[in-house]
Amino acid sequence: MEILRVENLSKIYGSGATKVKAVEDVSFSVNRGEFVAVVGASGSGKSTLLHMIGGVDRPTSGRVLIEGTDIYNLNETKLAIFRRRQVGLIYQFYNLLPILNVEENITLPLLLDQKKVEKDFLNELLATLNMTGRINHLPNELSGGEQQRVSIGRALINRPALVLADEPTGNLDSKNSEEIVDLLKLSNRRYHQTLIMITHAHEIALQADRIITLADGQIIKDEVI
Amino acid sequence: MNILNQLTWSSLKLNRKRTIVTIIGILLSAAMICATVSITTSFQDLFIERAKETDGNFHATFYEVEQEKSKYLTANTYTETAMFSRDLGFARFELSTVDHRPYFFIKEYDSTAMGHMPIKLTAGRYPEKSGEILLSEEILDYGGEEYQVGQTIALDLGERSGPQGEPLPESTPWSEEEQFFSTETQVYTITGLIARPHFENFSSIPGFTAVTYLDTNTLGATEKVNVSILGKKPRQIYDRVPEMAAGAGDPDYAYNNELLRYLGLSENDRAMAMIHSVAAIVILLIAVGSVTVIYNAFAISVSERKKQFGLLASSGATPGQIRRTVFFEGAILGLIGIPLGLLAGFGGIGLTLSVVNRLMSGSMFNEEMALRLVISPYIIPITVAVVALIIFISAYIPAKRAAAISPIEAIRLSEDIRIRGKNVKTSRLTRWLFGVEGELAMKNLKRNRRRYRTTVFSLFISIVLFVSFSSFINFALLGGGLYYQEAPFDFSIMAHGVPPEEHKKMYEQISALEEVERCTMYREIVTTSWLEEAKYSPILLKNFTEESNVSKDGAGNYECYLHLVALGEKEFKFYTSENGIDAADFQDTTNFKGILANKSVSPEVMAEFKPLKIKAGEKLTLEGLAAGREERDIPKFIMEVGAVTENLPLGYSSTGIWSADIIVSDEVFETVRSMIHNEDDYPYTSLEFYLITSGGAGLEEQLNTICKSYTDERIYVLDVAAAQQEMRRTTLAISIFLYGFIILITLIGVTNIFNTISTNVALRRREFAMLKSVGLTPKGFNKIINYESIFYGLKALLYGLPVSILISLGMYNSFGNFFHFTFFLPWKEILICVAGVFVIVFITMLHASSRMKRENIIEALKEETL
């Protein structure tokens, strides 16, 4: 069952001689529960594509449909609410709020939604993330791997249909990387979530169901493993 | 420019908005300091000009110096300008209508003295040769109507002597026993008129001033003259004058203290010292305000460039070099801000003074006495020095901090490292009350306490200055009696020394004037009565017991002052019919009857009340007060209260404080007066007129003429309407100064708030982007910004309002007995202040965040963490 459809998506920066086509006429679709790895050289347009799918960067042209909704037809407020409920974004540089502790950072999307936190689910998530003992710590008291786990927790707390990870292990050593990827795979299977992950590491990409390879803003290979 | 300064320069250009706001802060502070100094010098100039006009433009005078010895004084190296003068003495003024001033008093001035002595030409020209004379204008008013400019008059000069033939000094008042012997007759041509000089103090000198020309060439070697000088270095005057006197044969000498005191040179007078210390306090206030702004700007700039400084340090920049770049930044900002500030200051103060002068012209100061803008040569260096010091102080700590940054700390870069859990802890209540947005706002404020404190502090300073200054203005204006009550009449006349038998004639003459619509002839006799406690209102009793300013007799009765007041026949009829009373009931001159006007004003609660509990029909025993004649036995008499009313007759805006009036008919008044006053008392009987008129330009003049024909004593004809208008203008002018100051100091605060908040928001660009990426809606974003603004405002008000109320209270108390009103708060200004705080904070926040709202999330996220 299709959850995401990308149609003729393009992102162009600048104009005239300085025109840069970061993403050019990309189309593909992803089914529910799929784990997709996106690979490609630096500057091939991976991150831009991912951000456009996540609704944080507007495309120049083309459409992104998530569960049938054209997300760029929504106004700012509706788009924000859509992001909050349907999408979990994980960045290479964690992007946690320094003033909030682990628990607050993880539950932020719920708090913004004025939803009650389901204690059981939070505890389960914390246990999965191996962060149970650290809920009152502030980000600056955590290691890089721990911070990334918190940001994964934040991405998953709303049980989004779509988890987008932008090189989540790019900043971590191999042991931490392995843990993070295992965690993402676990949630992908346990919660039947769709996971799209950008990575540079070949061995991580090989763990996915499908690998999309980008070059110069276009898909050059789309293979099922 | 070396590389470090180049970096500073480019960072200033990069943060253009903050740079401009900081320059505005410096500009304002320079402008205000410059304006304060200018105002001080302008007022000093006004006082100096006034002293020159009243006491003359010279520093010291040597008296009775022999002409040959005077050369020592005039040629002295210390002497800048010298002038000669001499008192020629008295001459008979046959036409004088003033009994005790039957003379001219003739002074001789040389041509320099004409311009420097305190005489003011009102018509014609100064005398230029012997035989020419100036007359005081008053001479024409009191008998000398026939004198005209150009006319020739012969004066009998001579000597006054007492009953035993002894010569009388010039200041001796005239007495009937004195005699005048004329010694010579001189013919003079009148060349002009002068205003009544200040030295001709009112009635003691028995002559009107006339000034004639002193030809120094014709003086004999031993003839004595007075020599007045202006010294080259006024500061040395007290040392040089005694030396000069010693060299010139030890004449008496005197200083022109009035002038010297406003030049700031008087040895024991602190007038100028007070003005200067007020100016110093004001400058100090400005400095405190400015230091918070400028310090804040540098602190922000340094923390933003922290990484840069760390990198520089790691590549070998010494702490000294880094410190200097911060000072370099200060120097650049100062170089731009100070000159602009000086221009703005001079422009602003010049404009203010011209507005104020227009308002004040022809009022408190006469037209020649306008406040003019005096740009003293000291203003620029003083301003530059003070502002430079302010900048230096402000930059000092940030510079030290910048120099102390260790490379590794700067490159790892995180202020965030310092965050501790408990620092950003917020109560559950916050989330419950304001939601997660409110909680985020609160945590953000708590995160950077120092910056939060500076913002709150600058708001706090602005609040305190605004509110306490407003209180001060209110107190000062009310205390100074500048809030004139609306009087129901437009002219008032107070005449003394008119014999009682002429009162009626005078009244008729005034009433007959075409412009006069109504006219009260107000006369009163003060009587007292001993009344039992039950007759007094509680307010009055409270005052009696608390202030113990009333006599009490053995029977427990208090002494009540009752004024018997007559209004003139016509007004009495008007008053009775107005109150539905028959005037005919009050004409009986054997059984006195009067109307009790039972209304008084308490100065403490500023409210009207009924002072007495007396009903119509009661009889009061009154006793007259002997006016100035203590020894006489004064008969008591009975007065029946025929009616009680709370309406006051024309001529009152209120009755006396703590007393009540009994209005009687003219017949009763005359009878009582003849009963208790004797003939000698008549100068003490007050006579006042209150008029309602149709206006008209010449009215005041006509009234003056009528009054002068009845008495030569002082008469006050007051154009009430004009006086009120003048008061309003004066109040306005003073308010312009004071509120102008408040506005400027508030502006300094505003620049500070602007700088802090906008930087604060800008620094959190990335965080906001992150929040948006996890689904913060634009509305939520606004909510966070709004809550932060509210928290800033509330916190500042929480501290600012109580402190300013305390200061207001302190001010009220320190003025002590000076104010005759109870303490009140300037509620209107407090409301304006509260509204202002939120408006300023909201606008700033909105402005600072508007760009961020539209910003691309990814762009912001990519930005380096700060």
pLDDT per residue as tens digits for the range B508-558:
888 888 888 888 888 888 888 888 888 888 777 777 666 666 777 777 788
Say yes or no for a CB contact (<8 Å) between A80 and B772: yes
Q: Work out the pLDDT band at B366, boundaries 50, 70, 90.
A: very low
pLDDT reading at B441 higher than 90 = no
How far apart, in whole angstroms, are the C-alpha atoms of residue A19 and residue B407? 39
Which of B412, B443, B474 is where one domain is finished? B412
Q: Do B778 and A77 touch (CB under 8 A)?
A: yes
Q: Grade residue B295 by pLDDT with cuts at 50, 70 and 90.
A: confident
Last residue of a domain, one of B412, B437, B468: B412
Taking the C-alpha atoms of residue B476 and residue B730, their distance in angstroms, rounded to an integer, is 13
Q: In terms of CA atoms, which chain B residue is nearest residue A96?
A: B770
B208 and B146, same domain (yes or no): yes
- The DSSP secondary-structure symbol of B651 reads T
Q: Is A85's Cβ below 8 Å from some Cβ in B?
A: yes
- Among A54, A97, A113, beta carbon nearest to B767: A97
- What is the rounded CA–CA span in Å between residue B187 and residue B131? 7
| Confidence label for B667 from pLDDT (cuts 50, 70 and 90) | confident
pLDDT the model gives residue B203 = 46
The CA-atom distances, in angstroms, between B269 and each of A207, B57, B276, B390 are 96, 19, 13, 32
Nearest CA-CA distance, residue B308 and chain A, Å: 22
Average the pLDDT over each of A109-123, A138-152, B269-283, B353-367 and give the range with the smallest value: B353-367
Cβ separation B421–A101 shorter than 8 A: yes
The conformation of residue A44, written as its DSSP 8-state character, comes to S
Tell whether B518 and B662 lie within a shared domain.
Answer: yes
Question: Are B679 and B749 contained in the same domain?
Answer: no
Q: Given A58, A83, A141, which is nearest B775 (Cβ)?
A: A83
The domain boundary residue, chosen from B698, B713, B728: B713
Which is more confident, A50 or B756? A50
Q: Is residue B433 domain-shared with residue B513, that is, in the same domain?
A: no
The reply to whether A109 touches chain B by the CB within 8 Å rule is yes
Distance CA B665, CA B1 (A): 94
CB B461 within 8 A of CB B675: no
Q: What is the pLDDT of residue B798?
A: 92
* Residues of A with Cβ-Cβ distance to B778 under 8 angstroms: 76-77, 80
**Does residue B760 or residue B369 have the better pLDDT?**
B760
**pLDDT, mean of residues A42-50:** 88
Region of poorest pLDDT, from A47-56, B109-118, B411-420:
B411-420
Instruction: Tell me how close the Cα of A225 comes to any Cα of chain B, in angstroms.
Output: 31
> Tokens standing for B748?
């300094």
Whether A139 has its CB under 8 Å from any CB of chain B: the answer is yes
B61-70 per-residue burial string, b: 16 or more CB within 10 A, e: under 16: bbbebbbebb
Whether B647 is covered by a domain: the verdict is: yes
What DSSP element (H or E) covers B86? strand B79-92
Distance from CA of B858 to the nearest CA of A (A): 7
Whether residue B52 is predicted with pLDDT greater than 90 in this model: the reply is no
pLDDT at A5: 93
- B461: its two tokens: 């300073």
| Interval B237-268: pLDDT, tens | 888 888 888 888 888 898 888 888 888 776 66
| Chain B touched by A56 (CB under 8 Å) | yes
Of B447, B776, B861, the CB nearest to A80: B776
Residue-level pLDDT at B866? 35
**Better-scored residue on pLDDT, B83 or B818:** B83
Cβ-nearest to B857 among A56, A93, A112: A56
Cα–Cα distance for residue pair B26/B15, rounded to 1 Å: 17
Same-domain status, B298 and B200: no
Interchain proximity A98–B440, CB inside 8 Å: no
pLDDT band of residue B483 (cuts 50, 70, 90) is very low
Q: How confident is the model at residue B629 (pLDDT cuts 50, 70, 90)?
A: very low
Specify the pLDDT at position A35. 92
| Chain A residues closer than 8 Å to B419 by CB | 98-99, 138, 140
Position A29 scores a pLDDT of: 92
Same domain, B523 and B602: yes
pLDDT recorded at residue B680: 58
- Determine whether the interchain pair B773/A83 forms a contact, defined as Cβ–Cβ distance below 8 Å: yes
Contacts 24+ apart (CB under 8 A), B824-832: B824/B474, B825/B471, B826/B467, B826/B470, B826/B471, B826/B474, B829/B466, B829/B467, B829/B470, B829/B471, B830/B467, B830/B470, B830/B801
For residues B552 and B665, membership in a common domain is answered with: yes
> Are B304 and B382 contained in the same domain?
yes
Q: How confident is the model at residue A67 (pLDDT cuts 50, 70, 90)?
A: confident
* Interface touch B435/A89, C-beta < 8 Å: no
Topology adopted by domain A2-224: Rossmann fold (3.40.50)
Q: Which of A57, A100, A113 sits opposite B857 (nearest CB)?
A: A57
A80 to B443: CB separation less than 8 angstroms, yes or no: no
Q: What is the mean pLDDT of residues A63-89?
A: 86
d(CA A216, CA A225): 23
Q: Is the pLDDT of residue A214 over 80?
A: yes
B94 and B117 housed in the same domain: yes
Residue ranges of chain B whose CB lies within 8 Å of a chain A CB: 414, 416-417, 419-421, 424, 435-436, 440, 443-444, 446-447, 766-767, 770-780, 856-858, 861, 865
Q: Which domain holds residue B479?
A: 414-484+720-866
For B846-863, what is each residue's pLDDT tens digit? Answer: 887 777 777 777 777 765
Query: How much of chain B exceeds pLDDT 90, in percent?
Result: 8
Question: Are B206 and B323 in a shared domain?
Answer: no
| A91 touching B (Cβ < 8 Å) | yes
d(CA B405, CA B652): 76
In a mutational test of the B interface, the residue from A23, A60, A82, A99 whose CB has the highest number of chain B CBs within 10 Å is A99
Identify which of A61-65, B196-200, B414-418, B833-837 has the greatest average pLDDT. A61-65
Same domain, B666 and B530: yes
User: Are B325 and B400 a contacting pair, CB within 8 Å?
Assistant: no
Chain A residues closer than 8 Å to B444 by CB: 99
Residue B618 belongs to a domain: yes
pLDDT digits (tens, 9 = 90+) for A137-184: 888 888 888 888 898 888 888 888 889 998 888 777 888 788 888 888
How confident is the model over B804-832, as a mean pLDDT? 74
Q: Partners of B61 in the beta sheet?
A: B228, B254
Q: How far apart are CA A199 and CA A41, in angstroms?
A: 10
The pTM score is 0.63
Residue B629 within any structural domain of the chain: yes
Residue A137, chain B, CB below 8 Å: the answer is: yes
Residue B272 resides in a domain:
no
CB < 8 Å to B436, chain A: 108, 111-112, 114
Distance from CA of B24 to the nearest CA of A (A): 33
Q: Which pLDDT value is given to residue B334?
A: 92
Residue of B nearest to A51 (CA): B858
First to last CA, chain B: 28
Chain B residue with minimum CA distance to A81: B775
Task: Give pLDDT, residue B467.
Answer: 83
Structural domain count, chain B: 4
Domain residue spans of chain A: 2-224
Q: Do B767 and A85 touch (CB under 8 A)?
A: no
Convert the pLDDT of each residue in B170-186 to its tens digit: 777 787 788 888 888 88
Percent of chain B residues topping a pLDDT of 70: 83
Mean pLDDT for B138-153 is 86
Block residue for tokens 């799929």: A34
Residue A79 and residue B780: Cα distance in Å, rounded? 13
The minimum CA-CA distance between B274 and chain A, rounded to whole Å, is 53
In Å, how far from its chain's centre is CA B147?
Answer: 41
pLDDT digits (tens, 9 = 90+) for A84-130: 888 888 888 777 877 788 888 888 888 877 778 888 888 888 888 88
Q: Measured between CB atoms, does A42 come within 8 Å of chain B?
A: no
- pLDDT-derived band at A10 (thresholds 50, 70, 90) equals very high
Average pLDDT of chain B is: 79
* Interchain CB distance below 8 Å, A97 and B773: no
| Each residue's pLDDT tens digit, B643-654 | 888 877 776 654
Residues of B in contact with A57 (CB under 8 A): 856-858
**What is the per-residue pLDDT for B459?**
80
Question: If DSSP codes are grouped into helix, strand and coil, which group holds residue B588?
Answer: coil
As beta bridge partners, residue B597 has: B645, B661
| Nearest chain A Cα distance for residue B433, angstroms | 13
Could you tell me where the beta strands, DSSP code E, fall in B627-774?
A: 636-645, 660-664, 687-693, 715-719
Q: Which chain B residue is nearest to residue A163, measuring alpha carbons?
A: B774
Q: Could you tell me if B238 and B335 lie in one domain?
A: no
Residue B605, number of CB atoms within 10 A of its CB: 11
**Averaged pLDDT for residues B736-751:** 76
pLDDT band at B478 (very low <50, low <70, confident <90, very high): low
Write the residue in B435, B773, B776 that is nearest to A89 by C-beta: B773
Confidence of residue B602 (pLDDT cuts 50, 70, 90): low
Q: Which residues of A touch B440 (CB under 8 A)?
A: 97, 99-100
pLDDT at B694: 80
Residue B765 pLDDT > 80, yes or no?
A: no
